[in-house]
A and B are shown apart, each in its own frame.
Chain A
Amino acid sequence: MTNVVQIVAVAVSASLLVTVIDLVHRRRLREEYAFVWLIGALGLLGLAVWRNSLDLVARWLGVYYPPAVLLLAVILAVFIVSLYFSVVISKQRQQIERLVEELALLEADVRASRTVASTNVVPNAAGERQQAAGDAHLG
């Protein structure tokens, strides 16, 4: 029975590890965010292979029910990961704000140069027309 659990656990953790690596391989997941998941998957794999470690840690911490340690570790890990993502989102938000600001400034620049260009075109066209008329007159 325990062997079956262990086999399932190892299989699940290993497939998680493979999935993460595959996502990186297919460029669906960037390396800097993949590390968080790789470490998580490796940790799970380690626990699945060496099950006694959970009992050891529980005894060392003075926890009577070893699976509680697992839950605690998972909750902590999820907490850290979401904090990390909040930081990433904050940074991205700042980048987006900068981009929006720059885009607005750029749009104003483009608008201004277009206005200058269009006001320049009109007298030139008139000048060409005048020159053409002069040529005709000479001819």
Chain B
Amino acid sequence: MSDAGVSFVVPVFNGRRHLRRVLAAIGREAAGRPFEVLVVDDGSSDGSAEVPLKLRDPDLRAAIRLMCGPGRGAAAAINMGIQDARFPIVAQVDQDVVVQRGWLEPLLRALDDPTVAAAQGRYLVPPGAGLWSRMSGRDLDLRYSSLGSVDTDHVCTGNTIYRKSALHLVNLFNEQLGYGYDNDLSYRLRAHGYRLVICREAGAYHYWRDSFAGYLSHQFGVAFGRLDVVNAHPRRMTGDAVSGALMLLHAPLMLAAIAAVVLAAASAAVGVHVAAGVCGALAATLLTFLVSERCAAGVKAWRLTTDRAALFFPVAHLARDAVWAYALVAWMWRTIAHGGTKPTDSMPRRAPDVAGESRVVDSKVLVLIPAFNEAENLPLVIADLRLHCPSADVLIINDASTDATHALLPGLGTAWLTLPERLGIGGALRAGLKYARRHGYNLVARMDGDGQHSAGDLARLMAPVRSGRADAASGSRYLRGVNAPGARGLAQRALALCLTALTGRTVTDPTSGLWMFGPRALHLLGDHHPGGYPEPELRLLLARHQLAVREVPIRARQRHAGRTSLTPARALVAFARTSLAVLVTPLRRRLRSAGD
């Protein structure tokens, strides 16, 4: 195993802060063996996706594959990476874990034994870490120190290498879990007879969220995920080797203590002093037990690690227990009231509408062609479409043309709309998108009527939207590094940079007119597709509603005939409009589409 190739899978969601160090450490560890790094960006808005592109080490840059995650949580993102992994070993490293020198070798040696499915490294507290990080780290140190041997029944993700065949055998991670998917996988691997081991020699720095609020929100997720796991594996009610029964008991005991305090206060207020006394005594007993247990643990951890941060355990873990009690109530409420939990429930940072089925099953595609005085080009465009996308339905939106377009339409063999007044591209597209919605289309493409887009490119735009990896795809003429010449190219690039910064996703062609929209984009844009010269504003609008846009390289052609409507004066107006949109759109409230 020691010379085997390794596929690193790094799921990323707004992890720009440590990502460069994480990737550089991976590159250093993997040097000298075949490897690849699958960075699965799950819709970050902080520009995480650009970090891999800016790495200095050319070998590492070449080994990185940047993937666009499905936006359904970490487990789904990791699964996507595993499914695309080329090598038999999958090393799963989190966006806040920096592996240390000599991390990979001992882990690979552990996997030499064919019964071992996964080997986890040891989490280290980075130097200069704050109090909260140190406390989290010391807690882990203490919990792992109680493990008798290297064998365990639970390995965490994020600092771990897996045998890919074993992962496929148990059907990868459970994507329904937000946190706790690593516990779930560990239990399932063990049930298949695999061994899981911990290598103390393989160290990795873990950069925790170093604040009280960060600590508590992390703990909420941990507790919520644990409840999902226990629900799926009832026999694990008493925990595992790393998180024992005593630790899990903290949550219900804390909940009981809080309930006792509330009852005592209520009884005292009503005047039933006996009940108040009993409840108060119960609460005091429970809290004393919890605090003294944590005091003992703190002292033990301090002796073990000589870090005095461990002495804060009683205070911090009491707050943690309160959050766990809250998570217990929230979990029960969601399970009873909403009939189950979603992976997003343990992760408050994700918008709820990102979850759920996003693969587009219905393959009916409608191609919208907004046309103003394109009578000469339309027949050629339609012929091109019939050749390359014979199954697609076509809707031409005649934007009050003054040439022969109107007479031409019935003979083209497509559906068409005729706007009685000229609305411009935005209005024409809104009408077309409404038509698509009312006729039950789930995938809608947009191409220009002047013949500058090839229908062959349209087919390639369909893939990311149909697979659910993006809500919209846009054809980019400049993704392969060739830019438009002259002042126009310069303006395009400036706009692209600006949009990249604002949307957190790489934009190379801000004015592309070739698009593919998925169901969620369709729902939004039928009412709210921007007008004017809408393409840059469209990007901002989609980003504002957390819809993922993916660029696909296309070839640009010259228009077949006629002239572009973009004169210098109009370009100036377009520039002014776009600048205003750039300033205003990120500040606007999110829109709700009315539907039909």
Contact = CB atoms under 8 A, between A and B. Distances in A.
A101 B438 CA distance: 13
B68 to A, nearest CB: 32
Contact of A108 (B416, B423, B427): B416
A107 B430 CA distance: 16
Contacts of A97: 423, 427, 430, 531
Given A108-B416, A108-B417, A100 B427 contact: yes
B397 interface: yes
Chain A contact residues: helix, strand, loop or mixed: helix
Contacts of B417: 104-105, 107-108
A74 interface: no
Contacts of B434: 101, 105
A105 B397 CA distance: 10
Chain B contact residues: helix, strand, loop or mixed: mixed
B278 interface: no
Interface size class of B (residues with CB under 8 A): 10 to 19
A75 B420 CA distance: 39
Contacts of A100: 419-421, 423, 427, 431
Interface in B290-331: none
Contact of B415 (A101, A103, A108): A108
B215 interface: no
B418 interface: yes
Interface string A86-100: 000000000011001
Contacts of A104: 397, 417-420, 431
Interface residues of A, number: 9
Nearest to B526: A101
Interface centre among A100, A104, A105, by most B CB within 10 Å? A104
Contacts of B438: 105
B421 A105 contact: no
B435 interface: yes
A113 to B, nearest CB: 14
Interface of A: 96-97, 100-101, 103-105, 107-108
Interface string B410-433: 000001111111010001001100
Given A104-B420, A105-B438, 20 more contacts: A97-B430, A97-B531, A100-B419, A100-B420, A100-B423, A100-B431, A101-B419, A101-B423, A101-B427, A101-B430, A101-B434, A103-B420, A104-B397, A104-B418, A104-B419, A104-B431, A105-B434, A107-B418, A108-B416, A108-B435
Contacts of B430: 97, 101
Given A96-B421, A100-B420, A105 B435 contact: yes
Contacts of B397: 104
24 contacts: A96-B421, A97-B531, A100-B420, A100-B421, A100-B423, A100-B427, A101-B419, A101-B423, A101-B427, A101-B430, A101-B431, A104-B397, A104-B418, A104-B420, A104-B431, A105-B417, A105-B431, A105-B435, A107-B417, A107-B418, A108-B415, A108-B416, A108-B417, A108-B435
The 4 closest A-B pairs by CB, nearest first: A101-B431, A104-B417, A104-B419, A97-B427
Interface centre among B416, B419, B531, by most A CB within 10 Å? B419
A101 B427 CA distance: 7
A105 B431 CA distance: 7
A96 B420 CA distance: 11
Interface in B432-483: 434-435, 438
Interface centre among A101, A103, A108, by most B CB within 10 Å? A101
A88 B545 CA distance: 28
A107 B398 CA distance: 12
Contacts of B420: 100, 103-104
Contacts of B416: 108
Interface string B528-559: 00010000000000000000000000000000
A67 B417 CA distance: 58
B434 to A, nearest CB: 6
Interface string B188-217: 000000000000000000000000000000
A122 to B, nearest CB: 19
A62 B417 CA distance: 63
A97 B431 CA distance: 9
A77 to B, nearest CB: 27
A107 B435 CA distance: 12
Contacts of B419: 100-101, 103-104
Contacts of B415: 108
A59 B416 CA distance: 68
A96 B422 CA distance: 11
A105 to B, nearest CB: 6
Contacts of A105: 417, 431, 434-435, 438
Contacts of A103: 419-420
Contacts of A107: 417-418
A87 to B, nearest CB: 15
A100 B397 CA distance: 12
A96 B424 CA distance: 13
